[in-house]
Amino acid sequence: MRGEGAPAQPGEISGGGSGASGAVPPPGDGSGGGTPKRRGRRRALRWVSSVLSFLILATAAGGYLYYRHLNGSIKTDVLNLGENKLGGSKPNAFGQTPLNILLIGSDARDDAANQALGGARDTFGGPPLADVQMLLHLSADRSNMSVVSMPRDTMLMMPKCTEPGGKVHQASKGLVQTNESLGRGGPGCTVAAWTELTHIPIDHFMMIDFKGVVTMADAIGGVPVCVQQNVESRTRDGKGSGLKLPAGTSTIQGEQALQWLRTRYGFEDGTDLGRTHAQHMYMNSMAREFRKNAKLSNPVKLNSLAQAAIKAMVVDPGLDKIDKLYDLSMELKKVPTGRITMTTMPWVYSTREEGRVEPKPVEAEGLFRMVREDIALDGKGSGNPGTTAPSPGAPSPTAPATAPSQPAAEPATPPAKIAVSVRNATGGKDGAQARVKGRADEVAAILVGKGFAKAQSAQQTGAEDATVVRFSGPGQASDAAAVATALGLPATAVEKSDDVTGIVLFVGKDWRSGSAPALPPPAPTKAPDSARPLNGDDDKECMAVQPGFTW
């Protein structure tokens, strides 16, 4: 007998309490592909721990001033184990810096507590999986927040990851399931995989296991949720979370909260997509409750909750002190719930890996681009009513203490004094086209014509889909930006890299001819419907119940 999240076998029909309809197996629900089977209860506990720990930081920030003694309990790991390091989020024209935080849920069974909560003895001692991955984007002006979830069975090309001790995990030669990134050196490889796919600079990560989740769920005091009909998540053969709620709104906590978050059979079409939507509803509702009722004002309750959260987390070195977590939480707290948008990465079923999914080509990239360019997913733009943007060059009043250090906004060096090395990367990353012969020479000449007298072509080549300017030192950021501006490249085409010396222009597949690179189409102004956006103030959302799972 399998748990709630266990995969259906080919041809299997899920029974219901009173003649349940057959449930469509969720995309990539753990079957095949060499990935260990994981029980739904584990995934739910893992997810709950992620959400609660994050919301504790985001909404009960003041209490952390009392818990400096917890510093020694904070566990850290390397931020990025990959070779593509984008140098952190860059400030906008007003000197304000966005923040991108990757929330990772690990299913590791590395001690007795995690083993007792997770079960599945056959997985004890096995490599951990990153079965929950959510990218949280806090806008530069702190007016809005976007969350992008990636389905755990998304198939990706894995980047090369090198552990601090020197062990190398080579880049994959084929598609690999995204949740396996954690076993390739730790959370730094999960960050590297996201960076490689999305080209979004990730400033921090927070990885959570499921220790302490029950304590945290009880301490919250209750979260309102809604179902359209009476629901009972239980099939004839015993599968299901056991959740039983009457139609309408109920306030759930403790075990019921865990059941809600792990329910697949009984919600919508019985797939993981419905479960994800229910989790987004719960997270938004919890945020509203914290803001409305200040439930964590009790120091004793907050102490217990904070200790459970700290013990369950691993963070990057940039968040290794309570003061840093406090500063981060204060930044998160500035966003009103009405400007929080929860989404799922648009996906399509994979034609190469049965039962798995891949990013939906146009719409997934559009969503990633909105995050890269700090465009609010709710379509309302930036800025709160009544706020005034600071004058250009002024320090940001909301710049977080935990943000990576940024180069000062200094005037660039005169173009004639900026040395630029130009490499031919016109073949693109897939290598489907040959590099255009002599292209580096042609573009170097274009730069010279624009006043960059020290621009020279290099014998070294590259492979880039989009033209990019990389620089090696923080003092070269303004000069690299000047090169990009002269060529009409967007600000996102400027990257810090440890793999170059000085300023290097990689002429990509998008600029195989002509005097200027092709301009990209306008960025989307709102998340696509396929991302299933959910607004943080939407307290009218009510889960549809799967036929056959009512009472």
Measured torsion, CA atoms of residues 32, 36, 38, 43, in degrees rounded to the nearest 10: -100
- The bridge status of strand 340-344 relative to strand 145-149 is parallel
CA distance 507 to 518: 12
Identify the pLDDT of residue 387.
36
CA distance 120 to 392: 56
Identify the pLDDT of residue 74.
87
Considering the domain architecture, whether residues 244 and 368 belong to the same structural domain is answered as yes
Identify the pLDDT of residue 300.
66
Identify the pLDDT of residue 84.
85
- Position 22 in a domain: no
The parent domain of residue 504 ranges over: 415-511
Considering the domain architecture, whether residues 256 and 349 belong to the same structural domain is answered as yes
- Position 526 in a domain: no
Please list, in sequence order, all residues whose beta carbon lies within 8 angstroms of the beta carbon of residue 196, skipping any fewer than 6 positions away.
Answer: 82, 84, 156, 157, 159
Please say whether the beta carbons of 2 and 39 come within 8 A.
Answer: yes
Considering the domain architecture, whether residues 101 and 204 belong to the same structural domain is answered as yes
Taking CA atoms, 28 is separated from 3, 155, 237, 351, 354, in Å, by: 16, 10, 22, 12, 8
Considering the domain architecture, whether residues 214 and 339 belong to the same structural domain is answered as yes
Considering the domain architecture, whether residues 275 and 421 belong to the same structural domain is answered as no
Residue 279: CB atoms within 10 A of its CB come to: 24
Identify the pLDDT of residue 383.
59
pLDDT in tens, the chain (551 residues): 333 433 333 333 333 333 333 333 444 443 344 444 445 555 555 555 555 555 555 444 444 445 556 777 888 999 999 988 887 888 876 789 999 999 988 765 455 444 443 433 444 456 788 877 899 999 999 999 999 999 888 999 999 999 999 999 999 999 999 999 999 999 999 999 999 999 999 999 998 775 545 555 666 677 899 999 999 999 988 888 899 999 999 998 877 887 887 788 999 988 777 877 888 898 888 778 777 655 555 666 666 666 666 777 889 999 998 888 878 888 988 899 899 999 999 999 999 998 889 999 899 999 999 999 999 999 998 754 333 333 333 333 333 333 333 343 455 689 999 999 999 999 988 778 899 999 999 999 999 999 999 999 999 999 998 999 999 887 898 899 999 999 999 877 888 888 899 999 999 999 999 998 887 788 899 999 999 999 999 999 999 999 999 99
Q: Which two tokens stand for residue 360?
A: 């939906």
- Position 449 in a domain: yes
CA distance 242 to 41: 11
Number of structural domains in the chain = 2
* Domain at 299, CATH number: 3.40.630.190
Considering the domain architecture, whether residues 358 and 490 belong to the same structural domain is answered as no
Considering the domain architecture, whether residues 280 and 374 belong to the same structural domain is answered as yes
Identify the pLDDT of residue 69.
64
Identify the pLDDT of residue 68.
58
Residue 10: CB atoms within 10 A of its CB come to: 9
Nearest to 380 by CA among 336, 438, 441, 415: 336
Helix (H) or strand (E) holding 424: strand 420-424
Considering the domain architecture, whether residues 444 and 328 belong to the same structural domain is answered as no
- Position 281 in a domain: yes
Please say whether the beta carbons of 147 and 376 come within 8 A.
Answer: no
Considering the domain architecture, whether residues 247 and 336 belong to the same structural domain is answered as yes
Considering the domain architecture, whether residues 367 and 476 belong to the same structural domain is answered as no
Up-side HSE of residue 172: CA atoms within 13 Å toward CB?
Answer: 17
- Position 549 in a domain: no
Considering the domain architecture, whether residues 323 and 431 belong to the same structural domain is answered as no
CA distance 349 to 356: 6
CA 287 to chain centre: 19
Taking CA atoms, 208 is separated from 21, 82, 257, 259, 394, in Å, by: 35, 21, 18, 19, 37
Considering the domain architecture, whether residues 356 and 457 belong to the same structural domain is answered as no
Identify the pLDDT of residue 30.
39
- Position 500 in a domain: yes
CA 302 to chain centre: 27
- Position 548 in a domain: no
* Domain at 485, CATH number: 3.30.70.2390
Partnered with residue 105 across adjacent β-strands are 132, 208
Please say whether the beta carbons of 372 and 466 come within 8 A.
Answer: no
Phi first, then psi, for residue 541 (nearest 5°) are -65, 135
Identify the pLDDT of residue 493.
87
pTM: 0.71
**Residue position matching structure tokens 């759930």:** 252
- Position 2 in a domain: no
